Amino acid sequence: MHLLLLVTCVLASLTVVQPLSVPSNSFSSASINNNHDNNPMNIETAREYLDLYDTILNASPHSRSPSTFLSTSSADELSLPLLRTCVTYLSNLSTRTQLGICSNTPQEGINTLKRWTEELELRKGLLIGLDENGVAVDTRKWSGIYIKYSTGGAATFSQLRSLNRGFLGLHKPGDALCESYDGEWRGVYFSVELEGLEDGWRQWGVLPEGLFDDLV
């Protein structure tokens, strides 16, 4: 029996998304600042700022832990409100949004998933992989958890076979697949698919799990 995250909700129509205003924080990169400061948010601006975040993060010795990275002077030129705005804007325009959440514990991962899907107003489905035939999986020996969420479904045929669920276990849009994770990264991989663009499928991260938390 699957663990139900939340009642499935209907996404707002993508055709009526209104441009978001850029917060007062200006871009730290001079070239981006000159081109986009005080202008309405657009796809190019949002993607460039997330690219800038990735560049600065990857140059940091704390790249595997964005929460630690954001407390260092290397992140001083970044604006969290603007980062949130870019993520929200692209997700609203996306035909498919995918999250890859790397957390210390299942509860932390689930909390992150709930927070992000609520803030981005993404559809919510089933949480899969924490039980087998209705019996809870013992996660006490897990060193971490990886949660793969997608508004376009998340299962592959090999995953269905490994879970022994058959086609009844086919992941639907809004479902999330959980599995043990022993990697060092902690944060959220954020991916979007934008129709009509040659490079419409893009991924950034890892972004901080608490990007949408009031205390971040």
Whether 102 is covered by a domain: the verdict is yes
CA distance linking residue 91 with residue 175, whole number of Å: 17
Least confident residue range of 24-28, 71-75, 88-92, 103-107: 24-28
Quick: pLDDT tens for 3-30.
Answer: 333 323 323 332 233 333 333 334 444 4
Whether 145 is covered by a domain: the verdict is yes
Whether 119 is covered by a domain: the verdict is yes
Number of domains into which the chain is organized: 1
Whether 138 is covered by a domain: the verdict is yes
Whether 21 is covered by a domain: the verdict is no
For 44-194, where are the E strands, in sequence order? 96-103, 126-128, 131-132, 135-136, 145-150, 176-180, 187-193
pTM beyond 0.85: the answer is no
How would you label 63-73 residue by residue, b for 16+ Cβ within 10 Å and e otherwise?
Answer: bbbbeebbeee
Whether 68 is covered by a domain: the verdict is yes
Whether 158 is covered by a domain: the verdict is yes
| Containing structural domain, residue 151 | 3-7+40-207
Paired residues of 145 in beta bridges: 103, 180
Quick: pLDDT tens for 159-216.
Answer: 556 655 544 445 688 999 999 999 999 999 999 999 888 888 999 999 999 999 864 4
Whether 24 is covered by a domain: the verdict is no
- DSSP class of residue 167? G
CATH number at residue 83: 3.30.360.10
